[in-house]
Structure 1
Amino acid sequence: MSYEFNPESKLFEFPNPYKIENMAWLAAGGLLTLGGIGTLVAVRERIALGADLAALKVIGIAVLLMGLGFWFLARAFVQLRYFFGRNRPASLAPVVAADVDGDSNGAKHYKETLRQNAISYPEPKGALNGLLYSMMPALIFAPRVIRQAAQSQFYNFLALAATLASFLVCWLAFGQSGAAGWIGLVYGLFAFVQIMQPMAGSRGVNGDEQVGKGSLIVLVLLAVLGPVLLGMVAGHLPPLGQLSINGVVFVGLVCALLSCAVFGMALKNQLRAAPAAVGSARVMETVTMNAHPNKLIEELDRILMTRWYSNIPNRRYTRRSPQVDGRQGQFAAEMFEETQPRPQADRVAEGLGHAVSSPRFFWLTCLTALGLACVVAGTIAAMLVSQHILQAEPVAGTMAFAVSQFAVGVFCLRAAHVLWGRFDFVSELIWVDINGSYESAQMHIGNQVTSQVQSSKNVINIESMTMRVWVSEIDTVIFGKDEYRQLVGMRGVPALANELAQMLKGFGETRASIVAPSSQQDLERAHNMALIGKVVAGQAAVDAVELLGGHRPAPVVMPVLPMCRQCGAGMESDARFCTDCGTAA
């Protein structure tokens, strides 16, 4: 468990989703502990007079009550604080370290989800699931844990209903016979096994083949043939005298069915309608650039860093750097990241008043209260059992009632715990995929004969590279802070996708392909070198003489001679005729 403290940020001070449940656990644990202590106080005088078997039985009941009470209290103490560090909730896929290329099957699954622009849901199979999903159509869009709990609970409800029907037939048919006591024992044991089954166990989401076809067949056989078989063997069973727990079994089965119904209502309020907007925003651009394609990945890394939620690094699931080898070829690059998940508002019960007034938590609160009521009834019955033992009175019925109420109470609390631990998050998935081909060339800048400053560079030329950008806002859910996180909704964010695509395209198309000095010191040195170059080339001889401390030489004026208009021959300045052709000057 990690805990992060930052006095300037309350980001990780998440509301505790187990507030209401903790109240029930604390109340039940405290009552059980007090009941155990009260039972010990009641038996002290009996022990002072001399310990006997009855006193030892009462001490055993007291130990059981205190042990169960301490277990309830321990469960509540563990959940009193809800620490939630930045490493929670769990990532959707294995995280790739910074500046390291990597991928995973989980990342490929979510990239394919973005590519397909849809969320896939497993198809329910089997007769029981067909009946369940016809009654609750929105269940198909529920998280996996909710679907498993619904299917398991639906099966438990059918099993308990069939058990109750079979029990009533046997009770009415043989309730007055000598086998009446055995009816309650057999059906009570069978019902206890059904009640104590886990709410969301290892049963699969698909198909009711894993949800107990064999058990249903046994239930049908028991319901139809149970009374007949009991009538056949009734005469051979040993008599139980006045021992009969048929009424207790009936009450226990009714309480169990009631808890199933309340759980069904609580689960129904956890469902959400079919997503109104499902998909991701995809933008495709073509980019032409004269630079290594890895420059785009570096720029994308910088852009995404500026968008970190509360300065928490994104969870990188895929990074693939472009490989450019040889003078020409193809390359591919991609980056797939998720922003830090943040909790959705008003998805956790902040107190008892909020839970009772909210339709999302009302029936869940009722289920928790029902579990607490059953535990209270079981505790009172257990204390009565201890008194009956000390007074040498029959205790079978009261003890059976205590056991059945404890079983139903734990059943309700365990079922509610699955739904209380729900936490909803929202985040963004960002996927950039780049594909293209390249050609390398040598570029020279400057006159290769007369220029004093030249530049050359090996250039990677990329024409019409394809760049795709997917951005989607996703809804995820967990049931327990360290449990599996599931995608339950996604919406495209076209504005962010367009912005990323345009920023990357603009960055790529404005990359310089000429190498030149850029610092101020480089420019000053280049200016001084240009002056020296002029001296060497003879283009600044006068400045060079002055630089060396000499004097400026006087200019030499050369005479301009006239030329003949006819033949173009040179003439003396005072000649009147051309000496070559005789033409007058």
Structure 2
Amino acid sequence: MAYEYGSSAKGLDFPNPFRVENVFRFIAAAVLIGGGLIAIFQGRSGLYAHIGGWALAPILVGVAMLAAGIQHAAVGLSRLRFFFGRGKPAGLAGELADAQLGELAGAVALKSTIRGGAISVAEPTGALNGLLYSLVRPLIWAPQRIQWVAQRLFRTGLTLAVVLLGLLVSLLGVLGEKDMVWLGLFFFIYAAALLLKPLESGDQASTHLGSAGLIVLVLVAILAPVLIHSISSALPNLGGVDLSGQALLLLVCALASVLVFFVAVLRQMAAPPQTTMACELATISMNAPPNQILVELDREMQRNWIEQIPNRRYARYVPQTPGDNGTFHGELLEETQPMPRDDMRTVSFSHALAEPRYRWLTVLSALGVLYTVIGSIALLLFTHQVTMGEIAPALWKYVCFAGGMFSLALFCLRAGHVLWARFDFVSRMTWVEIDGTFQRSHTAVGAQFTDRVRTEKDIVSVNDMTLRVWVAEVDSVTFGSESERRIVGLRGLIDRASALRQQLENFASDQSSVDMPTSRRDVEKIAALGAMNQLAGRPVAPEALLKALDGAASSSASASSIAPKPPAFCHACGTATSLGARFCASCGKALRNS
């Protein structure tokens, strides 16, 4: 993502949130790369020993482990640095360009949230979700992504529990050794698929287990031994590779991992969010176009930019006043640059173990590394047996067991990343809305026949305009730099709303409906007009008229450039004296500067 750095933008500099996760990634990468190199050297020894095609098995295993280790290292290196630049995170709605008017997608829902002072949540549906939300009542207040993950884990855990129960029931009904082998292989592959399938679609995936799915699982658990027994005669012999014990172990470890992950998800939840909104209402009358309110509001918004970063603008309507009278509407909805919450600025092992929100995530990542070590040991045992020449079909148990452990490790590391990627932000939302009616009129100041200087102006009069001001501090959360951001809390800022309302009221009351000369050239022109007015009605030679204009211009210039002489004071009694006086009117003493 784009990153912009400024020497004054210190608030955007905070530690890498993936720091703890990267440590476990690099440990797993080191284990796999080291195991892969050992397996390749063992394969080379097998080639020297002339054990035939089996010598390629350790080399292939080593290459696979080496590739997996490099992949883990690449993921860790890609998250080694984290930059939080401008434009990140995503806006709460579609953002308008500087000169763009209107509102984009999501602005209506955002304004509804602000106006109502309440956060809308999707109502969970389905029997399993009903059970989940009755057991974990605070889950309804969790961010939507956390709810999706919790729903997926709950369904995955139930599925694994039913499959484990089905395996136990099926083992009681197995009639022969061949049936046992194929039954164990079936449940082993199914358990591994349950772990890997939800990860393919990211953190929003689920197993979609409903009533029909539970019935199917129960029927499979009861009828699988009978079905396998009926077709086992046509199935090939697997050479005694019985995976029923490994399937049982894989299911137990998977349930334990899902339980740890579910606890980590529950620790992401907080108390029910605070949802209050500060709203100020005022009635304003002014003799100026109503869009001047938005001009002053734009200036105030820029004064309050965070780290000199422009606000996110979600809605902007400029009041239009065509014709002699009518109605108008204007509004501005902006959000300051979201800043990381204070507790996001400390990321370390000690903090992760002490903070409940990260403690179970650390445990889950540690489990991923543990499963990686166990799987690597199983593969190295396989390559060692092959290198020693002890080649038998039963050796494939090591490969299958390693595959199950690696699927568990991948589940723990990838699922945990969903929660490590959570970011909490704080920003300030401001929404100002004006509505009213206008009437256009013409005013003139000064008598038409007697005053030498008159002013006329077309003005727009606004009477009893409604001004609404909403200001709140917004808590928002996102999972990843590119994912959408959702509001999880609103805290009304009544002081800021009141101050902004008062500022706009004062600005409206200070608007002038009379044009007055303000520049030096205006004063010179008025003086020239006065000189011409004095000569009006009398026959004047052109030379006299030019002399009068020069005198008016020089007098106006000297009046504007020469500072007035300060008043004089008597040196004896200190009484102020008149300009040009020679004696003090109080004591009669002669003045020194007379």
TM score, norm. by length of structure 2: 0.86
Look up the match of 2:335.
338
Q: CA deviation at 1:51?
A: 6.7
Look up the match of 2:358.
361
Look up the match of 1:375.
372
Match of 1:384 among 367, 381, 405: 381
What is the rounded CA distance, in whole Å, between the counterparts of 1:347 and 1:137 in structure 2? 26
**What SS does the aligned partner of 1:326 have?**
coil
What is the rounded CA distance, in whole Å, between the counterparts of 1:7 and 1:453 in structure 2? 55
Alignment of 1:149-188 (within 5 A): 149-174=149-174, 177-188=177-188
> Quick one: structure 1 residues 192 and 10, their matched pair in 2 at CA, closer, same or farther if it must change by over 3 Å?
same
> Quick one: structure 1 residues 292 and 98, their matched pair in 2 at CA, closer, same or farther if it must change by over 3 Å?
same
Q: 1:62-86 CA deviation, whole Å, 9 max, x = no partner?
A: 1111111111111101100101211
Q: 1:123-163 CA deviation, whole Å, 9 max, x = no partner?
A: 00110001111111111111121111111111110010111
Look up the match of 1:196.
196
Q: CA deviation at 1:420?
A: 0.3
AA in 2 matched with 1:526:
I
AA in 2 matched with 1:47:
L
**What SS does the aligned partner of 2:293 have?**
helix
Q: Indicate conservation of the 8 Å contact 1:4/1:12, yes or no.
A: no
Look up the match of 2:249.
251
Q: Does 1:281 align with 2:282?
A: no
Q: CA deviation at 1:190?
A: 1.0
Alignment of 1:433-472 (within 5 A): 433-472=433-472
**What SS does the aligned partner of 2:12 have?**
coil
Q: 1:435-487 CA deviation, whole Å, 9 max, x = no partner?
A: 11111111011001211111111111111011111111111111111111111
Q: Indicate conservation of the 8 Å contact 1:148/1:200, yes or no.
A: no
**What SS does the aligned partner of 1:428 have?**
strand
Q: Indicate conservation of the 8 Å contact 1:203/1:211, yes or no.
A: no
Q: Indicate conservation of the 8 Å contact 2:5/2:85, yes or no.
A: no
Greater shift, 146-155 or 10-19, is seen at 10-19
**What SS does the aligned partner of 2:283 have?**
strand
Look up the match of 1:328.
325
Look up the match of 1:561.
none
Q: CA deviation at 1:514?
A: 0.5
What is the rounded CA distance, in whole Å, between the counterparts of 2:50 and 2:337 in structure 1? 67
What is the rounded CA distance, in whole Å, between the counterparts of 1:216 and 1:309 in structure 2? 53
**What SS does the aligned partner of 2:478 have?**
strand
**What SS does the aligned partner of 1:336 have?**
strand
Q: CA deviation at 1:256?
A: 0.3
Q: Does 1:34 align with 2:31?
A: no
Look up the match of 1:552.
none
Q: Considering only aligned residues, what root-mean-square deviation do their CA atoms show, in Å? A: 2.3
Match of 1:315 among 312, 333, 341: 312
Q: Indicate conservation of the 8 Å contact 1:152/1:211, yes or no.
A: no
Q: 1:78-114 CA deviation, whole Å, 9 max, x = no partner?
A: 1001012111001112221113312113111101111
What is the rounded CA distance, in whole Å, between the counterparts of 1:404 and 1:82 in structure 2? 33
Unpaired runs of at least 5, structure 2: 539-543, 549-594
Unpaired runs of at least 5, structure 1: 539-543, 549-585
Q: 1:377-433 CA deviation, whole Å, 9 max, x = no partner?
A: 101111111112223243122222111100001011111000000000010111111
What is the rounded CA distance, in whole Å, between the counterparts of 2:226 and 2:29 in structure 1? 44
**What SS does the aligned partner of 1:407 have?**
helix
What is the count of residue pairs matched by the alignment? Answer: 539
Q: 1:28-64 CA deviation, whole Å, 9 max, x = no partner?
A: 1111011111111122222234472111111111111
What is the rounded CA distance, in whole Å, between the counterparts of 1:460 and 1:92 in structure 2? 36
Q: Indicate conservation of the 8 Å contact 2:314/2:334, yes or no.
A: yes
Alignment of 1:554-565 (within 5 A): none
Q: Indicate conservation of the 8 Å contact 1:434/1:468, yes or no.
A: yes
What is the rounded CA distance, in whole Å, between the counterparts of 1:408 and 1:344 in structure 2? 33
Q: Does 1:143 align with 2:140?
A: no
Q: Does 1:73 align with 2:90?
A: no
Q: Indicate conservation of the 8 Å contact 1:348/1:423, yes or no.
A: no
Look up the match of 1:90.
90
AA in 2 matched with 1:271:
M
Look up the match of 1:130.
130
Higher Cα Rg: structure 1 or 2? 1
Look up the match of 1:104.
104
What is the rounded CA distance, in whole Å, between the counterparts of 1:411 and 1:430 in structure 2? 42
Q: CA deviation at 1:217?
A: 2.8
AA in 2 matched with 1:304:
M
Q: CA deviation at 1:232?
A: 4.7
Q: CA deviation at 1:372?
A: 0.7
Identity over aligned residues, as a percent?
38
Greater shift, 7-16 or 331-340, is seen at 7-16
Q: Indicate conservation of the 8 Å contact 2:279/2:497, yes or no.
A: yes
**What SS does the aligned partner of 1:309 have?**
coil
What is the rounded CA distance, in whole Å, between the counterparts of 2:208 and 2:454 in structure 1? 78
**What SS does the aligned partner of 1:518 have?**
coil
Match of 1:229 among 227, 230, 239: 227
What is the rounded CA distance, in whole Å, between the counterparts of 1:525 and 1:294 in structure 2? 32
> Quick one: structure 1 residues 44 and 200, their matched pair in 2 at CA, closer, same or farther if it must change by over 3 Å?
closer
Q: Indicate conservation of the 8 Å contact 2:153/2:258, yes or no.
A: yes
Q: Indicate conservation of the 8 Å contact 1:203/1:210, yes or no.
A: no
Greater shift, 329-338 or 168-177, is seen at 168-177
What is the rounded CA distance, in whole Å, between the counterparts of 1:203 and 1:68 in structure 2? 22
What is the rounded CA distance, in whole Å, between the counterparts of 2:87 and 2:51 in structure 1? 57
What is the rounded CA distance, in whole Å, between the counterparts of 1:410 and 1:203 in structure 2? 14
Q: 1:210-252 CA deviation, whole Å, 9 max, x = no partner?
A: 5555433321211233344345555665544422112111111
AA in 1 matched with 2:398:
T
What is the rounded CA distance, in whole Å, between the counterparts of 1:228 and 1:43 in structure 2? 42
Look up the match of 1:263.
261
TM score, norm. by length of structure 1: 0.88
**What SS does the aligned partner of 1:472 have?**
strand
Alignment of 1:498-537 (within 5 A): 498-536=498-536
Alignment of 1:395-434 (within 5 A): 395-434=395-434
Look up the match of 1:215.
213
AA in 2 matched with 1:75:
V
AA in 2 matched with 1:323:
Q
**What SS does the aligned partner of 1:490 have?**
strand
**What SS does the aligned partner of 1:335 have?**
strand
Greater shift, 43-52 or 458-467, is seen at 43-52
What is the rounded CA distance, in whole Å, between the counterparts of 1:218 and 1:351 in structure 2? 46
